[in-house]
Copies of this chain bind each other. A is one copy, B any other.
């Protein structure tokens, strides 16, 4: 049994029960759960289903969007996400921190807001034993999705908190280009909450949000990044998380078979 975890987004639209079933059928030992399909299924029933399945839950995706204008709403929603993470027994809650507020060009201000909301949430997470996982996002998403743009920047933030409370996500799609990657992954020892893989493909698909490729279809050297992550002491599951319209349109069994094959060939952990 390898460490492949199927992130639900890779089989977008399949629903929680089918995603769990497909993991079992393909011998995949872990799942990355998304909140929307969990809510759709019903949180209590969903927790029961996932816990009963014997699958490890490598993450809950996702909390965050700390830069939204209504701070009270942001805090409430993220507290709910922390509760769901605890209920699922998930390894971490992945945080996509949010982009610039609408109409704002104050990047430094948005980043400061992220720091401040994180500080407010951290004690709540600590009390519930939940690990918050800051996800640095590719700079292509800086304006509209995530002002956290490098692993180094994520670690600067994370290090203001205990490693058991705030960690980081290493997602190959977001960090593969970073000239400082080796040094920052080494620095992340004890802070790597999640390791996610998908490929960077060119030409970039027209919808930047769905620009991710199946491992082997693009330019990422997965072994090189995996070696860094393993050398930094990460021993957890490896989530395959792929936003890709073509993959989503294909038959789910075929998609999962493809992902499993490519994982074995290009990642191999």
Q: How far is the CA of A105 from the CA of B149 in the complex (A)?
A: 22
**How many copies altogether?**
2
Q: Within 8 Å CB of A219, what residues of B?
A: 100, 105, 107, 142-143
**A204 in the interface (beta carbon within 8 A):** yes
Beyond A203-B208, A221-B106, whether A179 also contacts B149 by CB under 8 A is yes
Closest to A266 in B: B105
Q: Which of A152-167 contact B (CB under 8 A)?
A: 152-153
User: A65 to chain B: closest CB distance in Å?
Assistant: 16
Q: Secondary structure at chain A's binding surface: helix, strand, loop or mixed?
A: loop
Q: How far is the CA of A176 from the CA of B143 in the complex (A)?
A: 10
Contact A179 B150, beta carbon cutoff 8 Å: yes
Q: How far is the CA of A179 from the CA of B219 in the complex (A)?
A: 25
Contact B208 A179, beta carbon cutoff 8 Å: no
Contact A177 B221, beta carbon cutoff 8 Å: no
Q: Within 8 Å CB of A108, what residues of B?
A: 224
Q: Within 8 Å CB of A203, what residues of B?
A: 144, 208
**Contact with A139, one of B105, B139, B221 (Cβ below 8 angstroms):** B139
Contact B144 A202, beta carbon cutoff 8 Å: yes
Mark contacts of A217-236 with chain B using CB atoms, 8 A cut-off: 1 yes-contact digit, 0 otherwise.
01111001000000000000
Closest to A148 in B: B179
A-B contacts besides A107-B221, A153-B179, 11 pairs, CB < 8 Å = A105-B219, A107-B177, A107-B219, A139-B140, A140-B204, A143-B177, A143-B219, A144-B202, A144-B203, A149-B177, A150-B180
